[in-house]
Amino acid sequence: MMETIEIIQLPVGPFGVFCYIIYDPITREGIIIDPAGDPDKIIELVNENHISIKYIINTHAHADHIAKNQEIKKATGAPVVIHRLDDEFSKTPESIEWNRKLGFDETPPLVDIPIEDGDELSLQNFKVRFIHTPGHTPGSCCILIGKNLFTGDTLFVGAVGRTDLPGSSFTALLESLKKILALLPPETIIWPGHDYGDTPTSTLEKERETNPYITDFLNE
Ligand SMILES: [Zn+2]
Ligand SMILES: [Zn+2]
């Protein structure tokens, strides 16, 4: 099993969420992470690259990240995958209220496959592993594929996700950062959920050295 996967990083929707289309160039099997907007553009890229989408995966259940799940599901037939706790949390009145405030008047994400920490999804030539990293939301996950970590709103380039929202916890977020720093090698590539940094990607090593939330709060 070689790490030959291709990664398309695509800013979509009104909040500039990074949607990711990830696929194996040989088998053409792929997944989509956070189809948050511009579904036509996403489907065009999928078709152009002849990708067979196997899973639609959300890093967390905020409306700006799940916005086009159902349209992409209709187009690809792939099931929606999300952590069980965000599936549950997204159905609470406080979460629905917050999503309305963001301007998304919609129902919770209609999850097909709720996952837990450490769960893996296997495609023919690569594996997708879920690392539960609560803090921004109760069921936020970082998604590991080879040496690539898709961090959603847990870890940005030079920052972290908000923890002043319903269901957020700054303490939990710091624990989650500790967890990924302990678990993964420094050369791990960070693919964030928004383009908030100086660069669109980073590495765990660079974040350990320069991200103020790590340098100021996690100095051991
Ligand atoms: Zn979020
Ligand atoms: Zn976000």
Q: What is the CATH number of the domain that holds 105?
A: 3.60.15.10
pLDDT at 106: 62
Q: Which domain holds residue 82?
A: 6-215
Total domains in the fold of the chain: 1
Helix, strand, coil abundance in the chain, percent, nearest 5? 30, 30, 45
Q: Is residue 123 part of a domain?
A: yes
Residue 87 CA to ligand 1 center (angstroms) comes to 14
Q: Is residue 177 part of a domain?
A: yes
Q: Residues with beta carbon < 5 A to ion ligand 1?
A: 62, 153
Q: Is residue 13 part of a domain?
A: yes
pLDDT at 107: 63
Q: Is residue 139 part of a domain?
A: yes
Q: Is residue 59 part of a domain?
A: yes
pLDDT under 50: residue ranges of the chain: 1
Q: Is residue 37 part of a domain?
A: yes
Residue 26 CA to ligand 1 center (angstroms) comes to 33
> Which ligand number lies closest to the CA of residue 137?
1
Q: Is residue 162 part of a domain?
A: yes
Query: Rounded to two decimals, what is the model's pTM?
Result: 0.96
Task: Tell me which residue has tokens 């893996």.
Answer: 120
User: For 140-164, what is each residue's pLDDT tens digit?
Assistant: 999 999 999 999 999 999 999 999 9
pLDDT at 210: 96
Q: Residues with beta carbon < 5 A to ion ligand 2?
A: 153
Residues pairing with 12 in the sheet:
17
Q: Is residue 1 part of a domain?
A: no
